[in-house]
Structure 1
């Protein structure tokens, strides 16, 4: 039985289409391209990959096409049912905190969403511990985090920030916790150093945290769809240039961290 917050389940089942966001919106396309770029940089060829929190398979699809053997795990039954129709990877219902996979059974474990929605530090620690457990010695655990500045930057850039709703963003900035009233669902937002500390605390070594989208994320988010193609290459180049710059790592919406077992 998966212990999933009903608000999170409702959000992803009824209100939010991850595949659509990563393919159609300007920011989503930048995030997708950069996530592909970083994973291809880090993953060994033909790896056994466990995609925990893989939703409907937006990343599992291309990973399988790249020659990896992918198993997708997600707590939302509707996501798993959709992912299972793809046919190039396996998909099952599961909880990042209680994986059914055996010890040291995969080369790479991806947590590209679970740490967003495990608000309690103990739950995030358990998910990372499970990811380490199922990963072979020398293998990689790769985890995404939402930048704590992200919601405030986005709202301030698209005209949605006002004196009336400012407290939603400043409260989340102070605590890292989002209660689901600001437009996004129940979530936890990280600082870059905090995400690195959580991976290190789980026993992973050689931990590195990079910025995913870079400073152009909000520009692309507010770019007309017909103009995104022209701006995307420059945005990717900029993100790549500043991905590890401590002064700019928090300019985008997401972090991607990796550590080795």
Structure 2
């Protein structure tokens, strides 16, 4: 079944407050993602960044605070409202950088953003919910068109199949027997399509593996994108293990982020420890 944009938008409308605070509780996902973007940009001057599907803009504002010019779009009006509220708060205070623009937009549609003008394009959420490979390829193609020719970077995040298995092992391990047929298929194709009674709406989510991420880009973009790296955004602390650091000092958070980024986020044997996998690519 193709993706229902309406269902995805409804889902994030329901969980918008959770999504607004989620990265505060997962400091390694936040910090390793930011470090990967910094490494790719190697910025000595402000860069133009398009954050496509960036939710309430937590990473967009963090990058703006570092001096970059960031445009934010997201499918969910509720998340964009939260981003606009932060923008308005900053504008009133007058002491923090603002985003260049904030708007509702779909990663699968050609946006109002200017083609071939961005040093980096972030797709750090849309592919979590695009069920068909053709849809995922379409979203990456639109990001490719936004990136500067020859050196524009694209950062694409995926959810690991192992992440969901860890989650049910901790919350409700009996699910693999209760829904044996569902999980047999899920382990084959990574499609999670179920009604979630906890939040009262249908969920469409796509999960994958490192080898399949590389194959996806090789099949669809071998002539237009160079694959730079695949990185775990939690290092070895997937499954919520980084939440214990959420109330730690910034010094301690950064020490752990440095350790995990340098030692445990790109080695093949550690990628399975991640909840989220970040592919970094460069436009040819």
What does 1:107-256 align with in structure 2 at a 5 Å threshold? 107-137=119-149, 138-156=151-169, 158-162=170-174, 163-165=177-179, 168-181=182-195, 185-200=203-218, 201-202=220-221, 203-218=224-239, 220=241, 223=244, 233-234=255-256, 237-238=259-260, 240-256=262-278
Given the two structures, how large is their TM-score scaled by the length of structure 1? 0.86
In 2, the alpha carbon distance for the partners of 1:65 and 1:140 equals 20
The higher relative CO (CA closer than 8 Å, separation ≥ 6) is in 2
Aligned-residue offset at 1:159:
4.2
Aligned-residue offset at 1:38:
1.4
Give the length in aligned residue pairs: 255
Q: Which blocks of at least 5 consecutive residues in structure 1 are unaligned?
A: none
Q: Which of 75, 78, 94 does residue 105 from structure 2 map onto?
A: 94
Q: Assess if the C-alpha contact under 8 Å between 2:57 and 2:83 holds in 1.
A: yes
SS in 1 for 2:270: coil
Distance 1:130 1:248, change over 3 A: same
Q: Which blocks of at least 5 consecutive residues in structure 2 are unaligned?
A: 88-97
In 2, the alpha carbon distance for the partners of 1:192 and 1:130 equals 23
Given the two structures, how large is their TM-score scaled by the length of structure 2? 0.80
In 2, the alpha carbon distance for the partners of 1:258 and 1:234 equals 22
* Cα root mean square deviation, aligned: 2.7
In 1, the alpha carbon distance for the partners of 2:190 and 2:55 equals 23
Q: Assess if the C-alpha contact under 8 Å between 2:230 and 2:278 holds in 1.
A: yes
Distance 1:100 1:217, change over 3 A: same
Q: Which of 8, 11, 35 does residue 37 from structure 1 map onto?
A: 35
In 1, the alpha carbon distance for the partners of 2:171 and 2:250 equals 23
Matched, 1:258 2:271: no
Q: Deviations over 1:30-72 (max 9, x none)?
A: 2112112212221234111000001111111111001110000
Aligned-residue offset at 1:196:
2.6
